[in-house]
Amino acid sequence: MSAVSAASTGPQALSVPAGEAPLGDLACPEPADRPDLWPTTARRTGDGELEIGGRAVSAILKQAPAPVYVMDEADFRGRAATWAATMAEEFWEGYGMRGGGAFYAGKAFLTTRVARIALEEGLGIDTASRVELAVGLAALKGDDDAPDFPPSRLGLHGNGKTEAEVGVALAHRLGHVVIDSPEEIDHAVAAVRRLRTEGIYAPDERAALMVRLTTGIHAGGHEFISTAHEDQKFGLSIHSGAARAAIDAIIAAPELELRGLHSHIGSQIADPAGFEAAAEAVLRLRHEVAADTGWLCPEIDLGGGLGIAYTGADAPAPSPATLARALAGVVRRVCEELGDEPPYVSVEPGRSIAGPSQVTLYTVTGLKRVELGEGTARLYVSVDGGMSDNLRPALYGAAYTALVANRLPDPQAGLVRSRVVGKHCESGDIVVRDVDLPADLAIGDVLAVPATGAYGRSMAMNYNLFTRPGVAWVREGEQGWVLRPETVEDLLRLEG
């Protein structure tokens, strides 16, 4: 069997090793061919440059040198507004439901500006740490031209919350405070007693809590992002009885009120069936609790995790409308079967809003042909970033793709099987594991990696003391900083 499965016609052709996809199959789709991979404003200009938000990449890079994340503000706004409208429609009271909404999962990417945009477009903000909560609280405050938003538009999530963290959430009367362990129930009781003593709560005021359930139904990609199986850190198991024990403890506590039940089954999920099965499990537990205690909790939250496409090999992901309609169908069917009033239903999209809204721009700094034997080779393309600005390939084996963004390559040059790598002292420092790039690729070319808005900047780090790139917003031909890039001086100022 030949080791060569395909070859380029160009002068720099590199053979593809046996067992790999034919040459051309891993080429990055243009925005016109796979718009779901790209921000909605991405297109090629007449000069062949990639343009986002009305700004050509050359113009973007003059104000924001590579590596840089570029956020299409109109795209982010549109995706946020779509989720808000879709949930409101599918769970509209006129359809016999009790209402629905969405909390943007801030862990995907969060700044005060981003949180404010999400709020303006009708979403709440789900936070998973004290600092994320602080950012959300800052975003609530308007100015002369914009109103304040109430703290009920915020939620606090996460495991291992301290008494101080629970206390802050309860003091601000967040809309969702999601309990993850029995200890957090104790923290909430102590916090309410203190808040009553301090006069922040009325003498008989209670704190409304949600309980995160482990339904045993999990879906998604890598094991690290599947979060509803039994043997992991999140939630309280329905199967073992831990969830019911926590629910009963909250109902029994005079300081607390059970607002709702929460489920999150994983991330990067492409099939609504997992969400549907989890929703049914949550609704049946809700009914069981009501039958035993008389308390039918008014809300359920079915979490986030809807996937997106990252490469041309990925199928387009289900739309928000597809998922919301599937969930509404389950809620309607199960509640009618059980004779229960339907709950208010919320979800927590993050990746599906932030992910496609950003593109990372890199400059090519090195080209190295690596011989693999039997006449095959791979082109290693070094760029001016790496795992410090996108950890997901190293952490999860996540796949991305890349496009030459500063020009249209010469179609006569052909393609080469390539691996885009960073500058860190790790062999696993890979930005794009396999992509077919133009054989006329040159030092100084700009590569655009799409769909990096979720968990790109939020997971960025300072390994090898790299400074974290900034996030530039673009909109109608203008740009500015969502987050400015770190500098060496920023890092030195942290030293004691």
Handedness of CA 245, 250, 254, 260 (dihedral sign): negative
Cβ-based burial of 200 (10 A; exposed 0-12, middle 13-18, buried ≥19): middle
Cα 431 from Cα 423, distance rounded (Å): 10
Tokens at 430, concatenated? 């890979």
Tokens at 1, concatenated? 């069997």
Give, in order, the Cα–Cα distances in Å from 307 to each of 82, 168, 226, 240, 436.
Answer: 16, 32, 12, 29, 24
Tokens at 169, concatenated? 């959430």
Amino acid letter for position 109: F
| Catalytic residue flag (residue 28) | no
Side-chain half-sphere exposure of 107, counting CA atoms within 13 A:
15
246 near 195, Cβ under 8 Å? no
Nearest to 320 by CA among 102, 36, 82: 82
Choosing from 28, 297, 335, 425, the catalytic residue is: 425
Cα 76 from Cα 78, distance rounded (Å): 5
- Sequential DSSP letters for 380-414: EEEES--TTT--HHHHH------EE-SSPPPGGG-
48 near 31, Cβ under 8 Å? no
127 near 157, Cβ under 8 Å? yes
Return the C-alpha torsion angle 345, 348, 354, 357, nearest 10.
-20
Give, in order, the Cα–Cα distances in Å from 387 to each of 19, 76, 392, 423.
Answer: 27, 24, 8, 8
Side-chain half-sphere exposure of 226, counting CA atoms within 13 A:
14
Catalytically active residues, by annotation? 425
